[in-house]
Amino acid sequence: MSLDLPAWSEPFAEGNREGLRHRGPWGRVDRDWAFGDGSGRGLRVAIIDSGVERDHPAVGGRLVESVAVERVGDEWEVVPTQPMDVVGHGTACAGIIHALAPEAEIVSVRVLGPDNRGNGGAFATGLWWAIEQSGASVANLSLSSRSEAFFGPLHELADEAYFRNVLLVSAANNVSVASYPSLYASVVSVAAHDLPSADAWFYNPAPPVEFGAYGLNVDVAWRGGTRMVVTGNSFAAPHIAGYATRIRAAHPGVTPFETKALLAATADNAGVA
């Protein structure tokens, strides 16, 4: 197993993938049918992160709205903001999703500061806005909270998203501690595998982390129109978010539960006894 893999990625590493053998009820579903034309047309994806740089070539001009969560007195509020990224992390996620679903619209919800860190209250407020106000069908969460105080509030928001037909795709934490919302059953939880392929992903029949996707040495967009090579579960999650966007665009009315099932049925290990 590569020593560079982030935590929670072990089930998806070479040598451990034998444990992913799983025959689902349908066998493997054809990806061409599941993804349709692969455009993501008609779908909106919220990226809850450090912002998205609108003019970055990798975003393709698909950023349609930018908001930020800011402290106003004793409360967190969502306010319009400039289409910028204070780190580069959110733009990386946006670029991955745009490459996979190029006609999907992108909404940026900035909850992180220049140090790529944030407050649990800001995170929860941004997630609430993405669910209730953004019009997104898919939300990418390449961030998490380790705070037990936010276990309950974030769980309620994850359930609310599920009931409101918004699919949450969440990266597992890069260190071996519990983090939320990636450990909730209602979200699509993702860690990195060790294959150099954006077209490969695996379903893990032994959650909590359910999917392994491309997250090792990924060439991504970054702040200031640049690119860089990065590793982390943060960059695996938007690959699954991009594929989920394709599925939801190709099959209007498909639910989060059905989308997750189709992601499992199109995985590289689907239908393997």
Whether pLDDT at 21 is above 90? no
State mean pLDDT over 17-32: 83
Confidence of residue 174 (pLDDT cuts 50, 70, 90): confident
234: annotated active-site residue: yes
pLDDT tens for each residue of 199-257: 999 999 999 999 999 999 999 999 999 999 999 999 999 999 999 999 999 999 999 99
From 179, 193, 234, 239, active-site residue: 234
Which residues make beta-bridge pairs with 46? 107, 139
From 9, 49, 98, 179, active-site residue: 49
CATH (residue range 36-265): 3.40.50.200
Provide the residue ranges of all domains of the chain, joining segments of one domain with +.
36-265
Q: How far apart are CA 65 and CA 57, in angstroms?
A: 17
Confidence of residue 5 (pLDDT cuts 50, 70, 90): confident
268: annotated active-site residue: no
Q: What is the pLDDT of residue 23?
A: 73
State mean pLDDT over 147-159: 95
Whether pLDDT at 1 is above 60? no
2: annotated active-site residue: no
Q: How far apart are CA 77 and CA 93, in angstroms?
A: 24
Q: How far apart are CA 11 and CA 209, in angstroms?
A: 9
From 9, 66, 89, 186, active-site residue: 89
Look up residue 40 and give its two tokens.
Answer: 């993501």
Contact 209, 188 (CB under 8 A): no
What mean pLDDT, rounded, does the chain reach? 94
Look up residue 17 and give its two tokens.
Answer: 């993938």
